[in-house]
A = this chain, B = another copy of it.
Amino acid sequence: MSARQVTLAEVAKQAGVSLATASRVLNGSTRQVSEDLSERVLRTAEELGYVPNASAQALARNSSSLVGLVVHDITDPYFSCIAAGVTRVAEAAGLSVVLGTTGRRPEREAELLSTLRAHRARAVVLAGSRTTDRAAQSRLAAEIDAFTEQGGRVACVSQAKLGTDTVVPGNRAGGRALARALAELGHKKFAVLGGPSELVVARDRLAGFKAGLADAGIAPPVVINGAFTRDGGYAAAMELLGSKSRSTCVFAVTDVMAMGAMAALRERGVRIPEDISIAGFDDIPTLRDTVPALSTVRLPLEEMGEIAAGLVLDAGGDEARTIRVAGEVVLRASTAHN
């Protein structure tokens, strides 16, 4: 075993050409190589089963074919959809994506970025939602700077103003539109399962929702914070049920949280939507077949991943670009007239 990998030098020798020529043939060079030499090299490479050493290429070119993708939890459909979009675009461009997961610890984001920098990744998309944690945030900003200084590009999903390209979902607008749609159903008393208060995505959706209620002249909702997960939704819903606040409609800032909340409600014998209406945000594909079908704000998650990857892969100017994608309110069976 361990038959050493065939190298460019071997191919060159075998084909009777110089290293330089072989390199020029096998990798897009601006330089022209004559037809016959070129073909000879190609054939030998094929015969020998030559595979270029990516590390060596990266070293010589000072830029690799890696693009980073940082998510909190690949298990969360929100992230896996974005990941699908990113990988599709990256692979189509002949790049490999290295996946980093933070486990929702903000400081991991900077660590991962540093690793990616070590690998001379040519770009990275940060899909994790931004926190308001000051320390982590500045450490991250420093890493982003270091990364871009080194020539890499960075794009964020859903977290503007880091001075990078960004695809921004209409969190606020979506929350607002949803609130208005729900108000039109006749609901007057709302509760929001609000996710962690440090997460700007959660805050934006909540803020939008409040604005929407205000638009409709409805009193501010009860807000219960909790983890950005199924269990967080479950716990928040339980807390809500305990609180004796008689809301007729609940907005969970995430579909995944909404699922947890619905489980809690069911467990307590609360019927959806007869007793309480509930809505989420994201429109996770995996959850589209649930009963009752969840009202939500649809985000084109995979497309967002594609856009982010596109942003990060074509050179682009120096100024940070921001692409906004709108959320679309989708009312389904989990919300009823009141």
Contact = CB atoms under 8 A, between A and B. Distances in A.
Interface string A54-98: 111011000010100100011101001101100110010000111
A296 to B, nearest CB: 15
A29 interface: no
A315 interface: no
A35 interface: no
B54 A119 contact: yes
B98 A99 contact: yes
B2 A151 contact: yes
A32 interface: no
A1 interface: yes
Copies of this chain, count: 2
A286 B287 contact: yes
A138 interface: no
A49 B146 CA distance: 9
Nearest to A4: B150
A230 interface: yes
For this complex, into which size category does the number of interface residues on chain A fall?
Answer: 35 or more
A292 to B, nearest CB: 8
A3 interface: yes
B289 A291 contact: no
Given A75-B285, A259-B289, A290-B291, 4 more contacts: A51-B146, A52-B118, A55-B119, A77-B77
Interface of A: 1-5, 49, 51-56, 58-59, 64, 66, 69, 73-75, 77, 80-81, 83-84, 87-88, 91, 96-101, 103, 114-120, 146, 148-151, 230, 256, 259-260, 262-263, 266, 284-287, 289-291, 302
